[in-house]
Amino acid sequence: MNTSPFSAAPPPAVVTERRDRRNPRADLDDLFRAISHDLRAPVRHLGAFGLMLRERLGELGGDGEALSCLDAMDEATQNLGRMIDGVLELSRIARAPLLRQPMNVGEVVDEVRGQLSEHLGSRIVEWHIADHWPDCQADVALVRQLFERLLANAVKFTRRREVAMIAVGWHLLPDNRIEYFVRDNGAGFNQASAEGLFGIFKRLHTQSDFDGLGVGLAGARQIVERHGGRIGADATLDVGCTVRFTLG
């Protein structure tokens, strides 16, 4: 009998059984590594070949129609790269350890508001933030990301208002859970077309109206669900939007 530690591999049935017992997270890790490396390479190649074609066209005196096609290709290539970044961003949220600890949600909101206010320029934004906040057990880093996404969305979709108004607060539900909310007087949306609002790459406005890829709310949903909570939104077109969520 061959007792060498380097003996032949076990029969296929055993190999299959071991594969089936793999941690699903390991399969996800493999998928995201493939997205990160295998998909980025062709995107880089597209960008490089587009640059070469542009230089060659320049040497030949240029061609307006061809250059317009290259512009469209460049924009599509850049968007694809950003979409890959968005998927990887969501994967990091999914795989990050969940470290629940006592935290002050109000302090996090104030920090995020301060960061966003530094980039408002001449815009007028009235912030209405709750004065007192209940105790909360949650992952501080993930909750900060959650409010970064929701408040950045509120700032973005109110940019056409002469005076933007953004409210952040909470209230107690009948079952004694805490429901948080972010409300704005921005562009809003048609509630009837909002199915899948929190899905990845879901957009309710055109790119020319408001930039973005549609990963912000998908990440917010992921953070909320990792805490065992629920998230939803109600809005009226051209009036505003309210996002509500719980953290367990």
- Encode pLDDT of 15-26 as tens digits: 434 444 455 556
The structural domain count of the chain equals 2
Residue 235 lies in a domain: yes
Which of 35, 70, 95 represents a domain boundary (last residue)?
95
Residue 6's pLDDT band, with cuts at 50, 70 and 90, is very low
* Average pLDDT along the chain: 81
In this predicted structure, what is the pLDDT of residue 18? 42
* CATH number, residue 128: 3.30.565.10
For residues 79 and 47, the answer to whether their CB atoms sit within 8 Å is: no
Residue 19 lies in a domain: no
Residue 108 and residue 197 share a domain: yes
Per residue in 191-240, pLDDT (tens digit) is: 877 667 787 766 665 554 546 566 778 889 999 999 999 999 999 999 99
Which of 63, 79, 95 represents a domain boundary (last residue)?
95
Per residue in 143-160, pLDDT (tens digit) is: 999 999 999 999 998 999
Residue 7 lies in a domain: no
**26, two tokens:** 């390991």
Residue 139 and residue 183 share a domain: yes
Residue 142 and residue 76 share a domain: no
- Inter-CA distances, 192 with 158, 196, 221, 237, Å: 21, 11, 20, 10
CA distance 39 to 54: 23
Which of 76, 95, 114 represents a domain boundary (last residue)?
95
Residue 147 and residue 76 share a domain: no
Residue 122 and residue 33 share a domain: no
Residue 16 lies in a domain: no
Residue 120 and residue 226 share a domain: yes
Residue 39 lies in a domain: yes
Residue 151 and residue 69 share a domain: no
Residue 125 lies in a domain: yes
Residue 15 lies in a domain: no
Identify the domain containing residue 40 by its residue range: 24-95
- Residue 155 has a CB neighbour count (10 Å cut-off) of 20
For residues 246 and 177, the answer to whether their CB atoms sit within 8 Å is: yes
Residue 226 and residue 172 share a domain: yes
In this predicted structure, what is the pLDDT of residue 13? 44
CA distance 110 to 126: 13
Residue 140 and residue 75 share a domain: no
Residue 8 lies in a domain: no
